[in-house]
Structure 1
């Protein structure tokens, strides 16, 4: 049943009062009561005037005009740092610096007379989509994301690089200071990035040991949990060792590692000159106590890589399920670029050195 408004209720009550006055006047007239006639007529006139005023005015009280809502971008920039970071996965200082880096990219310039949305709006849309689990993939959203990804990845040559000799020495010195592992320049591990749907091409290659379709990614970070190298785009069936054997860190070992430098890994990686993995448990035998103690100490250090991957996936919730259709090589290339953007999201802000190395899949 429709809810009655306050005005409607007032009209109903006033109509009922008028009916009562009319009935009372009729009874008094029948009884020839001349004394009460003047007062009843006055009350009836007042009730009629009130009913006319109620029906004449649409609202009982003067309307309060609401102010216009602020422009959405202005409102978002007025958020405090915590709220802004929750919405767009970075603080405002980092956001504005990134906008200044990409605003002059040709992709944001239309050849027609119709201007694009401001670069800051397109970057907001991209970061919001990256930080949200789900689809959110309308035509304009995809267009904004494609432009922003292209512009950000152009900064790769300026900001992304594997640490040079001096940088690796600094990393090794910090690691040695709090772990005792000398000449360690980072921690390496693989991670699976789920796909939302079964790929159209060679789906069996993307089915992982964990029972879902995904891509495999190799990530290297240092003790501050910042990514220094990654290799992505490989099918989920590929073992971490296969990614390592095809990574540039392995193929160009002499150029990218000084003698004695190495990465710490789990037992799934092979023992090599630049990789120190945990000991594997011997078949049908107990792990020697000395090796068990070594593995325990190694895992307490290597966990930084797992924390790094957890931070990356927690910051960008869309990595929980990539909404991409693997139906062509071009789509695979776009996915690789998208994954590269997640890792290169650590562009230098606030004076911090966050150099990375990005490599596309090769298989």
Structure 2
């Protein structure tokens, strides 16, 4: 019902019990209603894991609708405070080498320390500029951009841009764009053709029907390496089905819920609860059109060198 194993849930309770965000103030709940830590976390997990409305959760736990919202917000605040603890870029050279080796073991693509993509989270039409949030599939959404590791955990998350915005523009407005070269060093991440090619982000060759065997092999191995981010999103949205549709009109709340689920996703993986049984196709992938104009020469040279040596 709550999409976590019992040992993982117990570990989560232990971590959240130390968070000041989980402390209950005397004026937090009305009347006689007081909700303890375990019930608060269970209410929040039920909210994350299912698409039912607030009323269905309040009836399940025999609490007021407002109590469900309060419990959700407390857990979200605690998880947001833990974001930097559980979603971390591998800056250490030894960690990057280990990650690169894991990626290379899969398909033979060298130097990869992450796979990047974006997924859409459906939302209620916001009060301001609602049309900007209508995506290519004609529903209102915000975009979650993420980079994942070979074990499907996330090393970087960026959320909140309107659904009509192209993936490349989202990237260019994230911290990762400014810091990518420094945090990747000689390594790189892999992304699909929606992203610009450079020395720290390698994309496939554009296939106009006349690619040679070398470039076709590169594209195949690149695609096979990159699919781990699709699995990551599939597990994330399969476990936390709230991310199929967040009903609140408060944009900050929607974004915080999205990031909180990413934190929980990593927490679960770190505690051995991988979540493969929840994996599903990511219907939030809107497959942005490929871009080519922003490709740079250093990235092209690096890509050509890798393509020549792939076997």
TM-score computed with the length of structure 1 as normaliser: 0.66
Q: Please state if 1:242 is matched with 2:242.
A: no
Once the 2 structures are TM-superposed, how far is the Cα of residue 264 of structure 1 from its aligned partner?
Answer: 1.0
CA distance in 2, matches of 1:299, 1:146: 38
Q: Please state if 1:98 is matched with 2:18.
A: no
CA distance in 2, matches of 1:216, 1:151: 22
Q: How does 1:65-144 map to 2 (within 5 A)?
A: 87-107=1-21, 108-111=23-26, 116-136=34-54, 138-144=65-71
Q: How does 1:28-67 map to 2 (within 5 A)?
A: none
Contact conserved, 2:108 with 2:221, CA < 8 A, in 1? no
Contact conserved, 1:94 with 1:350, CA < 8 A, in 2? no
Higher relative CO (Cα under 8 Å, sequence separation at least 6) belongs to 2
Match in the other structure for 1:64: none
Match in the other structure for 2:104: 176
Secondary structure of the residue aligned to 2:218 is helix
Contact conserved, 2:103 with 2:225, CA < 8 A, in 1? no
Q: How does 1:2-17 map to 2 (within 5 A)?
A: none
Partner deviation per Cα, 1:148-182 (whole Å, 9 max, x = no partner):
11122222344432112222121012112232221
Contact conserved, 1:134 with 1:321, CA < 8 A, in 2? no
Q: How does 1:217-228 map to 2 (within 5 A)?
A: 217-228=144-155
CA distance in 2, matches of 1:190, 1:202: 21
Match in the other structure for 2:296: none
Secondary structure of the residue aligned to 1:220 is strand
Contact conserved, 1:221 with 1:227, CA < 8 A, in 2? yes
Once the 2 structures are TM-superposed, how far is the Cα of residue 350 of structure 1 from its aligned partner?
Answer: 6.0
Partner deviation per Cα, 1:64-96 (whole Å, 9 max, x = no partner):
xxxxxxxxxxxxxxxxxxxxxxx1111111111
Once the 2 structures are TM-superposed, how far is the Cα of residue 353 of structure 1 from its aligned partner?
Answer: 12
* Aligned residues between the structures: 259
C-alpha distance 192-350 of structure 1, shift in aligned 2 (>3 A): closer
Partner deviation per Cα, 1:127-168 (whole Å, 9 max, x = no partner):
011110132252111111001111222223444321122221
Q: Which runs of 5 or more structure 1 residues have no equivalent in the other structure?
A: 1-86, 326-330, 355-363
Q: Which runs of 5 or more structure 2 residues have no equivalent in the other structure?
A: 56-64, 275-311
1:347 to 267, 281, 287: 267
CA distance in 1, matches of 2:191, 2:177: 14
Who wins on radius of gyration, i.e. which is larger? 1
Q: How does 1:323-362 map to 2 (within 5 A)?
A: 323-325=247-249, 331-345=250-264, 346-347=266-267
TM-score computed with the length of structure 2 as normaliser: 0.77
CA distance in 2, matches of 1:351, 1:146: 24
